[in-house]
A and B are shown apart, each in its own frame.
Chain A
Amino acid sequence: EAAVTQSPRSKVAVTGGKVTLSCHQTNNHDYMYWYRQDTGHGLRLIHYSYVADSTEKGDIPDGYKASRPSQENFSLILELASLSQTAVYFCASSAAGGGSDYTFGSGTRLLVI
């Protein structure tokens, strides 16, 4: 079954440390996305990619980097984690951008202390 798998499921990080969130999809989709969800709010787009070895900035890219080494894998990197980056992070994939349905992972709950 096609899926989007995120790791880790949860993480505690210290302020100023480096955090890497990983995402793997078996959907054979070209597009992959990283969203952030804060308690009581919707999802906001951080970075996205429509081809391997290329990433694009979303609506809230500051403080985050992304890496797409292959079609299947998309990582989100927090070089210097901050308290304000405590949130749940979701990865998603789609076949053809915003006009097609998205498949989401189960999320990574990040707590920065």
Chain B
Amino acid sequence: SQWGEENLQALSIQEGEDVTMNCSYKTYTTVVHWYRQDSGRGPALIILIRSNEREKRSGRLRATLDTSSQSSSLSITAAQCEDTAVYFCATDGTGGYKVVFGSGTRLLVSP
């Protein structure tokens, strides 16, 4: 699970496996962002799930949000090598003007 100033976590799986990354947050949020960052690039939004949504899907990606436990998850079904990246969750912080990022999960998918 990622948050705060902890070091980047690492997950290594084989192609075709399913994987779930977890995120817990400390303060109320109206939205959870999930970003993907490829090496040498800036983060890119992959799913944005709002507090009135429990689940959101986009292709092989599925995000969940549990506001009671202040946690979110991102699942990838049948991971492929091109899913290799760092995945961040982020929330809209206390003021709503800004996004606060978790520490991230480095996912390596091997053939």
State the A residues within 8 Å of B (CB). 4, 31, 33, 35, 40-45, 48, 50, 56, 58-59, 90, 92, 94, 97-107
Interface string of B31-57 (1 = CB under 8 A from A): 101010000111111001010000000
Asked if A42 contacts B104 (CB within 8 A), the reply is yes
Chain B binding surface, main DSSP class: loop
Q: A41-B7, A44-B101, A45-B100 are in contact. Are A101 and B33 (CB under 8 A)?
A: yes
Alpha-carbon separation in the docked complex, A50 to B104 (Å): 26
Decide: A43 near B88, CB < 8 A? Known: A97-B98, A107-B42: yes
Is A97 a contact partner of B92 (Cβ separation < 8 A)?
Answer: yes
Tell me if A48 and B97 are in contact (CB < 8 A): yes
Which of chain A's residues has its CB closest to B91's CB? A98
Given pairs A45-B98, A58-B98, A99-B96, 7 additional interface contacts (CB within 8 A): A33-B99, A40-B8, A43-B101, A48-B97, A101-B33, A105-B42, A106-B42
In the complex, the chain B residue whose C-beta lies closest to that of A43 is B101
Q: Is B93 within 8 A of A98, CB to CB?
A: yes
How many residues of chain B are within 8 Å of chain A by beta carbon?
A: 31
Provide the residues of chain A in CB contact with B101, threshold 8 Å. Answer: 35, 42-44
With CB as the reference atom, state the residue of chain B lying closest to A40. B8
Nearest CB on A from B8, distance (A): 5
User: Chain A CB within 10 Å — which of B35, B98, B100 has the most?
Assistant: B98
Instruction: Confirm or deny: B103 has a beta carbon within 8 angstroms of a beta carbon on chain A.
Output: yes
Measured between alpha carbons, how far is A44 from B102 in the docked complex, in Å?
A: 9
Interchain CB contact under 8 A, A42 and B42: no
Q: Which residues from A are CB-within-8-Å of B8? A: 40-42
Q: Which residues of B contact A45 (CB under 8 A)?
A: 98-100
B5 at the interface (CB under 8 A from A): yes
A-B residue pairs in contact (CB < 8 Å), sample of 8: A48-B97, A50-B97, A97-B96, A98-B30, A98-B98, A99-B50, A99-B92, A104-B44
